[in-house]
Structures are given as C-alpha cells and as structure tokens.
C-alpha cells in the first residue's frame, strides 16, 4: 500500500527544527543512534539495531564452479531484501528503485573494496571455489537502512566460520563442523557506511537520518570508510548540488564515526567469542531481556489511623457548606424577569433534594454539623432569594440597582409559588 504522505505542516516543522539545529529525538547533528549488535546461535548470523531500524544478516557458503574470467577467486553474493514487516510501503514482488540503490551500494562497498580475500576462497583452481552468500533482511524501517545493513553485513562476515577443507593430490575433503573446527574468513578491513542527509539545498547537514528526516531531506551522501581512514565508496543521491568542501568535511566526520562503530563491532565479536568459549548461553533468545512480572506484590505501607476520627470532624467543621443554588432571574427588558428558558423550572426540586442529601449526611456526623445544615435549609426556605454579590452568581444583571427591588419581589413571588407547587409532589 502507499505510505501515508507527509503533511505540509509536519514537513515545515521538521525543516524549521533542523534549521534551529534541533532533531525530533533530541540528538545533536552529528550523533548516531544507539547501535546494538546481537549474534545468533549459528556462526554468521547477527541482528543489528540502529535506533529502531533493525537488520538481520545471515551468511552461508557452498562450493561452486568459479567464474570464467576469474578462475582462482571465490564468489561473493549480496542480497538485501526489504521485508514487508519493515514498513507498509514495501510491497512484495516489484523491485523498487530503493532496493536497487541499496543493493548496488552494498555490493560496491563490500565487493569492490576487496574487504574479503577472495583468493583464499579458492579450493581447486578453475573447478571449485567457495561462494559466500550474504543475505540481509530489513526487519524494521526507521531510517538509515544503508548504515545498519553495512554494519550487519560486515559483522556477520567477521563472525562467520566456513567448513575446513583439505586437499590431498586430487582428492578434496570437506570436513563437517564436528570433525574439524570451521575456520573464519580472511577479512582485510571493515568498511562501514555513514549516511549524511542534506536539507535546504545543502545548507544543513545531519548524520544518521531517522525515517521522518529522510522524508524531508533533499539529498543523501553515503561515505563508506574503514578505520584506517581509507574511503571505500562515496555515493551522492537525490537531486542536490554539492560543493567539494562539503564532501571533504563529510569524509572527516565519517572517519570519526567509523572508528567508534568499528570499536563497537570488535567488542561485540569478542564478547560473543568469550561467551561461546566459556560454554555460556548465547543466541538471540538469550540476548533479549526478560520482561516478565515474576511476582506481583506490593509492600505493606503503614497508615496511621489513630486520630482519624478527630481529623474528619475538623475537616467537616471547617469546610464550606454546599453552595446555595439560588434561582437568578435574567433581566431581558426592564420590568421583566426570566427564570430558565420557558420550561418548567426544576430548580426548586433540585434544591430540596440537595437539602435532603445534606440531611442524610448530617446524621452520620456530629451535632454541630447538623445544626449548621439546618440553618442552611431554613435560610433556603424562608429567604430563598438573595441576589447577593457572591461568587456563585454567574448572571450579570444589566439593569441599574434601582430596578433590583422590583425583580426581587417578582422572583420571590414566583419562587414561593413554585415551592408551594413542589410540596404536593413530595
């Protein structure tokens, strides 16, 4: 399905935030998201998390006949797939531009830079060589697929062990992992891609764009380097115009980032090696943290209930009585008073009920309270109208004060008549 288009206000918001050097997740302009590398139980399988972007890499090998023009070299095959679970925009079948772009960039980064010694993959020249197949699957798309994929690919390649082979004259024996320990691939260097996104025709630059930032960017520059400060690939995409200085500056930033990430990869590989050697548990299942509630128990919090009786008394004594709800007539024209909107006024009913409730509450309380409530009730019945200046009034009387008296009389008469009406209903 088509992905939800980005609204104009969201786009403007993002661009303006970037102009003020602010990013949605609070990073600085040259900060990477958290990189997490976990290995599976088999050799050559790893998952890389770059923030929320997640890529799975799996290496496999088999013996095949070599290419005609390169009889002594092994074959490297890369395949990056955008799985449908990564984003609703990815559809099965059709090979989109993005897939082609990513795959080609990955191939150039890893194959053309000769990071793996392909001569060592040769078994019998001209007849049998190892074909190493790198399969990458994007599991979640939150921006910057290229970086995550390159980290996953090179880490998996470093982690992979191929079966041992021995040649005696004409016979070639391939040992299974049980017979002989599998041997690692010979890797010269580790190229890692760093992505730079450009905004506002090249004025602003961000490292490691997230998915939202990718949608509003003008163009992308990918630089693949290794930790020896050798550039393996540069690729600019999108319709932007770059200047030479920008490219050089990006390469300097990239060298710093690549060193950091290379260290991280090395550490992850060493940790995994250590765990496997010590016989500990390893694999994806172990690396996911257990988030389960083993016991639901709350501590007993002590509550002091000694003087609760007195406290409640004080509270009720000091609290204000429920506000009087006095029918306040609206003066539409001089000499007239309007209560309600022409329908039967139910205020008298409510007032009485309130009084009753108050009575019920009283019985549970102390005597002082009862008397107070009775006072309230009496006030209500004998002098129902007090066009007071209290805060409860929300009706503005527009007429000058002299008219008030008239209104009072009328209101009181109407109120009194209503009271009389209500009584038989009880």
Partner 1 sequence: MAGLELLSDQGYRVDGRKPTELRKIQARMGVFAQADGSAYIEQGNTKALAVVYGPHEIRGSRSKCLHDRAVLNCQYSMATFSTAERKRRPHGDRKSSEMTLHLKQTFEAAILTQLYPRSQIDIYVQILQADGGNYSACVNAATLAVVDAGIPLRDYVCACSAGFVEDTPLVDLSHVEESSGGTQLSLALLPKAEHLALVEMDARLHQDHLEGLMDAATRACKDLHAVLDRVVREHLQEVS
User: Pick from 104, 311, 405, 420: which binds partner 1 (CB under 8 A)?
Assistant: 104
Give CA–CA dist 254/236, Å, rounded. 14
- Residues 178, 181, 187, 190, CA torsion sign: positive
Candidates 237, 323, 338, 413: give the one binding partner 1 (CB under 8 A).
237
Part of the chain binding partner 1 (CB under 8 A), chosen from 96-104, 121-129, 348-356, 396-404 = 96-104
Among 1, 9, 243, 343, contact with partner 1 (rule: CB under 8 A): 243
Q: Give the nearer residue to partner 1 in terms of CB position, either 47 or 225.
A: 225
- Of 36, 28, 57, 87, nearest to 208 by C-alpha is 28
CB nearer to partner 1: give 248 or 295: 248
Q: Tell whether residue 232 is a contact of partner 1 (CB under 8 A).
A: yes
The residue (of 45 and 109) whose beta carbon lies closer to partner 1 is 109
- List the structure tokens of 206: 């961000």
Beta bridge partner(s), residue 171: 168
Closest approach of Cβ 219 to partner 1, in Å?
8
Q: Indicate which single residue of 22, 67, 70, 229 sits in contact with partner 1 (rule: CB under 8 A).
A: 229
Name residues whose C-beta falls within 8 Å of residue 272's C-beta, 6 or more positions apart in sequence: 39, 159, 282
Minimum distance, C-beta of residue 211 to partner 1, in the bound complex (Å): 21
Taking CB under 8 A as the rule, does residue 97 contact partner 1? yes
CA dist 224 and 258 (Å) reads 9
Cα–Cα distance for residue pair 244/43, rounded to 1 Å = 42
Among 62, 230, 270, 357, binds partner 1 (CB under 8 A): 230
Segment near partner 1 (CB under 8 A); pick from 56-64, 103-111, 136-144, 308-316: 103-111
Question: Is residue 255 close enough to count as binding partner 1 by CB under 8 A?
Answer: yes
Orientation of helix 244-278 relative to helix 145-159, angle to 10°: 40
Do residues 186 and 116 touch, judged by C-beta distance below 8 A? yes
Q: Does 113 bind partner 1 (CB under 8 A)?
A: yes
Piece in contact with partner 1 (CB under 8 A), picked from 21-29, 130-138, 218-226, 296-304: 218-226
The least CB distance from residue 108 to partner 1, in Å, is: 5
Closest CA to 43 of 207, 144, 137, 160: 160
Q: How many CB atoms neighbour CB 405 within 10 A?
A: 10
Q: If we measure between CA atoms, which residue out of 66, 60, 35 comes closest to residue 49?
A: 35
Q: How many residues does the chain have?
A: 426
Which CB sits closer to partner 1, 6 or 308? Answer: 6
> What's the start-to-end Cα distance of the chain, in Å?
66
- The stretch among 123-131, 226-234, 375-383, 402-410 that binds partner 1 (CB under 8 A) is 226-234
Positions in the binding site for partner 1 (CB under 8 A): 95, 97, 100-101, 103-104, 107-108, 112-114, 221, 225-226, 228-244, 247-248, 251-252, 255
């Amino acid at each position: 399905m088509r992905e939800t288009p980005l609204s104009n206000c969201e786009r403007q918001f993002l661009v303006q935030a970037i102009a003020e050097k602010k990013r949605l997740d609070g990073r600085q302009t040259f900060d990477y998201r958290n990189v997490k590398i976990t290995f599976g139980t088999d050799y050559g399988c790893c998952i890389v998390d770059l923030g929320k972007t997640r890529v799975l890499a799996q290496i496999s090998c088999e013996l095949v006949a070599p290419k005609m023009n390169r009889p002594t070299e092994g074959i490297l095959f890369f395949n990056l797939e955008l799985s449908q679970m990564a984003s609703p925009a990815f559809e099965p079948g059709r090979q989109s531009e993005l897939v082609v772009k990513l795959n080609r960039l990955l191939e150039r980064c890893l194959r053309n830079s000769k990071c793996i010694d392909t001569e060592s993959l040769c078994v019998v020249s001209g007849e049998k060589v190892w074909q190493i197949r790198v399969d990458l699957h994007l599991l979640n798309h939150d921006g910057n697929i290229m970086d995550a994929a390159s980290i996953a690919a090179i880490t998996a390649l470093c982690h992979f062990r191929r079966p041992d082979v021995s040649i005696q004259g004409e016979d070639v024996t391939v040992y299974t992992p049980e017979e002989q320990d599998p041997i690692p691939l010979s890797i010269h260097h580790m190229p890692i891609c760093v992505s730079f996104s450009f905004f506002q025709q090249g004025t602003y630059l961000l490292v490691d764009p997230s998915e939202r930032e990718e949608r509003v960017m003008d163009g992308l520059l990918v630089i693949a380097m290794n930790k020896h400060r050798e550039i393996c690939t540069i690729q600019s995409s999108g319709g932007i115009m770059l200047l030479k200085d920008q490219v050089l500056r990006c390469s300097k930033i990239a060298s710093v980032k690549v060193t950091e990430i290379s260290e991280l990869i090395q550490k992850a590989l060493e940790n995994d090696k250590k765990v496997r050697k010590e016989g500990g548990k390893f694999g994806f299942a172990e690396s996911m943290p257990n988030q389960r509630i083993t016991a639901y128990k709350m501590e007993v919090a002590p509550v002091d209930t000694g003087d609760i009786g007195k406290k409640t008394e004080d509270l009720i004594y000091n609290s204000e009585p429920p506000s009087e709800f006095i029918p306040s007539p609206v003066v539409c024209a001089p000499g007239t008073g309007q209560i309600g909107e022409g329908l039967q006024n139910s205020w008298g009913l409510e007032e009485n009920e309130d009084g009753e409730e108050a009575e019920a509450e009283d019985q549970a309380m102390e005597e002082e309270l009862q008397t107070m409530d009775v006072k309230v009730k009496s006030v209500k019945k004998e002098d129902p109208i007090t066009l007071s200046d209290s805060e409860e009034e929300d009706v503005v009387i527009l007429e000058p004060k002299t008219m008030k008296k008239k209104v009072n009389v009328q209101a009181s008469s109407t109120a009194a008549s209503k009271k009389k009406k209500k009584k038989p209903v009880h």
